[in-house]
Amino acid sequence: MRRRDFIAVAAAGFATPNSMPRVRAITRGPNFHWFGYYDKLQFDPGNRYVLAMRSGFEHRSPRPDDVIQLGRIDIHDHDRWTDLGETTAWCWQQGCMLQWVPGSPSQVIWNDRERGQYISRILDVTSGQRCTLPGPVYALSPDGRHAVTTDFRRLADTRPGYGYNGILDPNRDALAPEDSGIWRMDLHSGERKLIFSIRDAVQVPCARYDWRGAKHWFNHLLYSPDGKRLIFLHRWNAAAGGPRRFNTRMFTISPEGRDPYIVDDFGGMSHFIWRDSNHILGWADRPPGGLAFYLYEDRTSRVEVVGAGIMTVDGHCTYLPGNRWILCDTYPDSQRLQHPYLFDTKTNTRHPLGHFFSPPEYTGEWRCDTHPRISRDGSLVAIDSPHNGGRQIYLLDIRTIIG
């Protein structure tokens, strides 16, 4: 690995650099590989098989006819790749929502496009049995029985890089449609229902912002660990001259779409994760602390700063099993280095996992964030990185850090 890929860091609140784990590539060229978002199950329950996506190109938006391959990597057998399927419904940031189905040792699910509709496919990697469901998925319930999704057609229009190119949004001229929002789908029967619309969200008052003339959408859905609440971001394009490209409110609702609660409405909410079924960690901009990671208690006004002075920039955050350790990363700094790390909430220290160079052509919609993902047992971290000639997946063993 090139010298510029790693830079020693030693400062107050930071662990010594010799504690960083070794980095192992588990995919290689000439094709490009990645997994995408940090809040999906990439590792199987036995921590042996790692899901991945493969593309033959980079550095442009996906076209409707661009096909990517989906595969399973056996990290116990020389990182052997097994084909699982393919799809034309994908984006650079979150792929096709490829993930293991919770509660199943062998089922995976991903989104695809068929007959002018976005759908999802489930494959049992052991038996080979396949089925197709009538709608796409975004997040799965912890028991693996249901999925929720937002409108990928609208996301392609409002937030390029997160939606799919191939089907025009029928509500592209509507500011807050009542027939678009969050759908819930039964993964066994395929029964599908709109549970909370964009119009529903707009009808919940927002005293801090005047959104007359703004266009609204939803993004980033995630079930709570007990499956009793659902979190999502309600976003709208900001007025001309505003400090942000868009503003954000964080909602939680019941899985049936009832009991909406606004967790944060200051406009600057970004990446988040459930710590447990009652608490949410999120990067936000709110008074009086400004930009920081905050721990919110759902359906209360209680909130506190996490990692003050140490976790000082936005990143993709995940709790390791037991909730002592937070796995996070950064966007490229002034030297184009990305910094995945662990934060120990018990000792208030940050442990770097490496410093990875992101070439300048990785920007905007087709940037390659590291998006660190944890294995089921909390011992391995997988990241996406382009530091060695194109985006690939790397594995980091963190057992020496977390003990």
Q: Are strands 341-344 and 325-328 parallel, antiparallel or unpaired?
A: antiparallel
CB 385 within 8 A of CB 370: yes
Report the C-alpha gap between 150 and 216 in whole angstroms.
12
- How does pLDDT run across 200-232, given as a tens digit for each residue? 999 999 989 999 999 999 999 999 999 999 999
Over residues 137-163, mean pLDDT: 97
Burial label for 47, CB within 10 Å (0-12, 13-18, 19+), is: middle
Q: Which of 9-18, 76-85, 100-109, 333-342 has the lowest mean pLDDT?
A: 9-18
Percent of the chain with pLDDT over 90: 92
Compute the C-alpha angle 270/148/40, nearest 5°: 60
pLDDT above 70 for 132: yes
pLDDT exceeds 60 at position 10: no
CB 220 within 8 A of CB 230: no
Phi-psi region of 167 (alpha: psi -120 to 50; beta: other; left: phi over 0): beta
Cα separation, 20 vs 244, in Å, equals 36
Q: Quick one: average pLDDT of 146-171? A: 96
**Is residue 314 within 8 Å of 331, Cβ to Cβ?**
yes
99, 134, 238 from 103: Cα distances, Å: 12, 22, 41
Q: Is the pLDDT of residue 241 over 90?
A: no
pLDDT, residue 238, reads 83
pTM of the predicted model, to two decimals? Answer: 0.94
- Report residue 79 CA to chain centroid gap: 24
User: How many whole angstroms separate alpha carbon 220 and alpha carbon 270?
Assistant: 9
Q: Is the pLDDT of residue 6 over 60?
A: no
Mean per-residue pLDDT of the chain: 94
The highest-level CATH class for domain 3-402 is: mainly beta
Q: What is the DSSP string of 47-85?
A: S-EEEEEEES--SSPPPTT--EEEEEEETTTTTEEEEEE
What are 116's two structure tokens?
A: 């002018």
Q: Where are the domains of the chain?
A: 3-402
Could you give the angle at the alpha carbon of 212 between the alpha carbons of 169 and 259, nearest 5°? 75
User: Where residue 3 falls among pLDDT bands split at 50, 70, 90?
Assistant: very low
